[in-house]
């Protein structure tokens, strides 16, 4: 049980790659999870070479809850997992009343179910081990309903609520839970979610992935509960407390068209 490991989900692309780089730069041994094994292997080779850390690649489909449970059981069996970054996530921009439900259900499975399993397993493992840090990647989407991205916004509201509640349960213990809430960030997320043409991405220049990950990583290490990145995003997160909810939803719809 000597080595202490950091588990990072969604490490094949975007923010996950940056979280992995931050962890490796601190000399941490890493477990990288996503579906695209070749990308995980390429990142693992980079990190082993540059930082001389141990990196294991665990290709996993996080949309499959049984695979998530198996992943955790196998990796935590003989390892002390000190950090878990629940970063993997996906969204979809389009009318809710369409016929295709596959992508929306995948986002519930990854953003909600897999994150819940790993947060729960990690919280009890870390409590037994005497400490640890959990970083859940939410979104400013979690602060308001999202017409045309109804399921994604709902999943991120869940991530925010779950993370705050568990952090409160663990208050005063050596296990902390942090939720990072970025706004538009320059990764493949917007392209894959069919969001590139919407007002949010046209009007607001996306933040760099490295800077967003660094802000989240720092907040996690300080044990902060919530980190919203960027002044404009902080305004988006705070304003719904002052405005009637129906109006918040109307305004949100304008940004998601
Ligand atoms: N980019 C933004 O504007 C933005 C804003 C706010 C919040 N976020 C949140 O930030 C997090 C990271 O997103 P990103 O921007 O870095 O997006 P990204 O570049 O599209 O990366 C998403 C990651 O999630 C993984 N993933 C998706 N489905 C998976 C599955 N079924 N099983 C395993 N891994 C899966 C992908 O890996 P594989 O495809 O290899 O499986 C990939 O590594 C997400 O939770 C997202 O909701 C993003």
Domain boundaries in the chain? 4-255
Selection from 132, 124, 135, 221 nearest residue 174 by Cα = 132
Active site residue 120: no
Residue 112 has pLDDT above 60, yes or no: yes
**Spacing, Cα 11 to ligand 1 middle (Å):** 8
Gap between the Cα atoms of 209 and 155, Å rounded: 21
Which residues are within 8 A (CB) of 43 and not within 5 positions of it... i.e. 6 or more apart? 11, 12, 17, 20, 32, 55
- What's the mean pLDDT in 113-123? 98
pLDDT score, position 41: 98
Helix or strand holding residue 99 (H, E): none
Q: How confident is the model at residue 2 (pLDDT cuts 50, 70, 90)?
A: low
pLDDT score, position 43: 98
Could you say which of 4, 52, 74, 156 is catalytic? 156
- What's the mean pLDDT in 231-236? 92
Q: How confident is the model at residue 185 (pLDDT cuts 50, 70, 90)?
A: very high
In the three-class reduction of DSSP (H, G, I as helix; E, B as strand; rest coil), residue 177 is classed as: strand
**Spacing, Cα 48 to ligand 1 middle (Å):** 23
- What's the mean pLDDT in 153-166? 98
DSSP 215-252: HHHHHHHHT-SEEE-SHHHHHHHHGGGTS-HHHHHHHH
Compute the CA torsion angle 204, 153, 114, 135 (nearest 10 deg): 50
| Residue to probe by mutation, ligand 1, list 14, 159, 207, most atoms within 8 Å of CB | 14
Residue 257 has pLDDT above 60, yes or no: yes
In the three-class reduction of DSSP (H, G, I as helix; E, B as strand; rest coil), residue 21 is classed as: helix
Could you say which of 39, 92, 152, 194 is catalytic? 152
User: Are 150 and 193 in contact, with CB atoms under 8 Å apart?
Assistant: no
Helix or strand holding residue 183 (H, E): none
2 against 183, higher pLDDT: 183
Closest ligand 1 atom to the C-alpha of 201? 3
Q: How confident is the model at residue 99 (pLDDT cuts 50, 70, 90)?
A: confident
- CB-defined site of ligand 1, < 6 Å: 10, 12-16, 34-36, 60-63, 87-91, 110, 137, 139, 182, 184-185, 187-190, 192
* Residue linked to tokens 């009890």: 124
| Residue to probe by mutation, ligand 1, list 15, 33, 201, most atoms within 8 Å of CB | 15
Gap between the Cα atoms of 27 and 24, Å rounded: 5
The class level of CATH for 4-255 reads: alpha beta
Residue 179 has pLDDT above 70, yes or no: yes
Residue 1 has pLDDT above 70, yes or no: no
Selection from 99, 45, 184 nearest residue 30 by Cα = 45
CA 106 vs CA 90, 97, 155, 234, 246: distances in Å: 8, 17, 11, 28, 28
pLDDT score, position 202: 86
Q: How confident is the model at residue 85 (pLDDT cuts 50, 70, 90)?
A: very high
- What's the mean pLDDT in 163-171? 98
Q: How confident is the model at residue 196 (pLDDT cuts 50, 70, 90)?
A: confident
Active site residue 92: no
pLDDT score, position 78: 87
pLDDT score, position 123: 98
**Spacing, Cα 158 to ligand 1 middle (Å):** 16
Residue with the smallest CA separation from ligand 1 atom 34 is: 34
Q: What pLDDT digit, counting tens, does each position of 201-216 carry?
A: 888 889 999 999 999 9
Residue 48 has pLDDT above 90, yes or no: yes
User: Are 10 and 192 in contact, with CB atoms under 8 Å apart?
Assistant: no
Gap between the Cα atoms of 196 and 61, Å rounded: 25
Q: How confident is the model at residue 3 (pLDDT cuts 50, 70, 90)?
A: confident
- What's the mean pLDDT in 112-123? 98
- What's the mean pLDDT in 46-66? 98
Written as six digits, the tokens of 190 are: 């917007």
């Amino acid at each position: 049980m000597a080595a202490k490991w950091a588990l990072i989900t969604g490490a094949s692309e975007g923010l996950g790659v940056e979280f992995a780089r931050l962890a490796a730069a601190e000399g941490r041994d890493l477990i990288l999870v996503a579906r695209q094994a070749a990308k995980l292997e390429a990142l693992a080779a980079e990190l082993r070479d540059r930082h001389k850390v141990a990196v294991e690649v665990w290709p996993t489909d996080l949309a499959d809850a049984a695979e998530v449970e198996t992943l955790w059981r196998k990796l935590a069996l003989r390892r002390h997992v000190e950090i878990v970054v629940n970063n993997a996530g996906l969204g979809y921009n389009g009318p809710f009343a369409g016929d295709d439900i596959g992508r929306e259900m995948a986002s519930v499975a990854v953003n909600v179910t897999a994150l819940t399993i790993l947060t729960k397993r990690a919280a009890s493992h870390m409590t037994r081990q005497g400490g640890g840090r959990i970083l859940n990647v939410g979104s400013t989407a979690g602060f308001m309903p999202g017409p045309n991205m109804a399921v994604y916004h709902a999943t991120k509201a869940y991530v925010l609520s779950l993370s705050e509640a568990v952090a409160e349960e663990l208050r005063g213990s050596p296990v902390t839970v942090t939720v990072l809430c970025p706004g538009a960030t320059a990764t493949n997320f917007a392209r894959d979610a069919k969001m590139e043409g919407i007002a949010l991405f046209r009007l607001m220049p996306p933040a760099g992935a490295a800077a967003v990950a660094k802000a989240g990583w720092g907040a996690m290490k300080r044990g902060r509960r919530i980190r919203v990145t960027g002044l404009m995003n902080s305004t988006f997160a705070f304003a719904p407390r002052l405005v009637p909810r129906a109006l918040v939803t109307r305004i949100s719809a304008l940004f998601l068209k």
